[in-house]
Amino acid sequence: MELIVAKNYFDMSRKAANIISAQMILKPDSVLGLATGSTPVGIYDQLVEWYQKGDLDFSRITTVNLDEYRGLSPENEQSYHYFMMQHLFSRVNLPAEKHFLPDGMNPDSDAECRRYKGIIDSLGGTDLQLLGLGHNGHIGFNEPSDSFARDVHLVSLTEQTIEANKRFFASADDVPRQAYTMGVGTILQAKKILLAVSGAEKAKALQQVMSGPICPQVPGSVLQLHPDVIIVADEAASALI
Ligand code: GLP
Domain positions in the chain are 2-153+198-234
CB 218 within 8 A of CB 212: yes
34-79 pLDDT, tens digit each: 999 999 999 999 999 999 999 999 999 999 999 999 999 999 999 9
188-227 pLDDT, tens digit each: 999 999 999 999 999 999 999 999 999 999 999 999 999 9
- As a whole number, mean pLDDT of residues 21-42 equals 98
89-112 pLDDT, tens digit each: 999 999 999 999 999 999 999 999
Separation of alpha carbons 159 and 161, rounded Å: 5
Q: Is 158 in the pocket of ligand 1 (CB under 6 A)?
A: no
Q: Is 43 in the pocket of ligand 1 (CB under 6 A)?
A: no
The residues annotated with a catalytic role in the active site are 67, 136, 138, 143
Q: Is 102 in the pocket of ligand 1 (CB under 6 A)?
A: no
Atom of ligand 1 nearest to the CA of 35: 9
Q: Is 136 in the pocket of ligand 1 (CB under 6 A)?
A: no
Atom of ligand 1 nearest to the CA of 199: 16
Long-range contact pairs involving 156-164 (C-beta distance under 8 Å, separation at least 24): 160/134, 160/135, 160/136, 161/134, 161/136, 164/134, 164/135
User: CATH fold of 2-153+198-234, please?
Assistant: Rossmann fold (3.40.50)
Separation of alpha carbons 213 and 216, rounded Å: 9
The model's pTM: 0.96
CB 112 within 8 A of CB 106: yes
Q: Is 104 in the pocket of ligand 1 (CB under 6 A)?
A: no
> Residue by residue, what is the 3-state secondary structure of the chain?
CEEEEECCHHHHHHHHHHHHHHHHHHCCCCEEEECCCCCCHHHHHHHHHHHHCCCCCCCCCEEEECEEECCCCCCCCCCHHHHHHHHCHHHCCCCHHHEECCCCCCCCHHHHHHHHHHHHHHCCCCCEEEECCCCCCCECCECCCCCCCCCCEEEECCHHHHHHHHHHCCCHHHCCCEEEECCHHHHHCCCEEEEEECCHHHHHHHHHHHHCCCCCCCHHHHHHHCCCEEEEEECCCCCCC
pLDDT value for 160: 87
165-187 pLDDT, tens digit each: 899 899 999 999 999 999 999 99
Interval between CA 202 and ligand 1 midpoint (Å):
11
Atom of ligand 1 nearest to the CA of 132: 10
Atom of ligand 1 nearest to the CA of 40: 14
Q: Is 18 in the pocket of ligand 1 (CB under 6 A)?
A: no
Pocket test for ligand 1, best of 39, 70, 84 (most atoms within 8 A of CB): 39
Separation of alpha carbons 144 and 158, rounded Å: 8
Amino acid at 89: F
CB count in 10 Å sphere of residue 37: 18
